[in-house]
Amino acid sequence: MNDSLKSKQDSVKCEVCMKEVPLSEAKSAEANEYVAHFCGLDCYAKWRHQAGTAEDAKKTSG
């Protein structure tokens, strides 16, 4: 069970799909009080869409 430990690189988890991605390849975006990371632009767009709705959602949902 001793797998050869690879050089531990800084990695982060995608805010959307929770996939681990190397920090160097991750997209990052500043949220309100933290920095969110993403595996790619797809997830970044999704997150942006979700986050954006809070600010842009002016219409009442019934």
Instruction: Pick between residue 20 and residue 52 the one whose CB is nearest to Zn ion.
Output: 20
What is the chain's percent helix, strand, coil content, to nearest 5?
Answer: 25, 25, 50
Which is closer to Zn ion, CB of 52 or CB of 60?
Answer: 52
CB of 27 vs Zn ion, minimal distance in Å: 9
Q: Footprint of Zn ion on this chain (CB under 5 A)? A: 14, 16-17, 39, 43
Q: Are strands 27-30 and 20-22 parallel, antiparallel or unpaired?
A: unpaired
Taking the C-alpha atoms of residue 53 and residue 34, their distance in angstroms, rounded to an integer, is: 18
To Zn ion, the closest distance from the beta carbon of 4 in angstroms equals 27
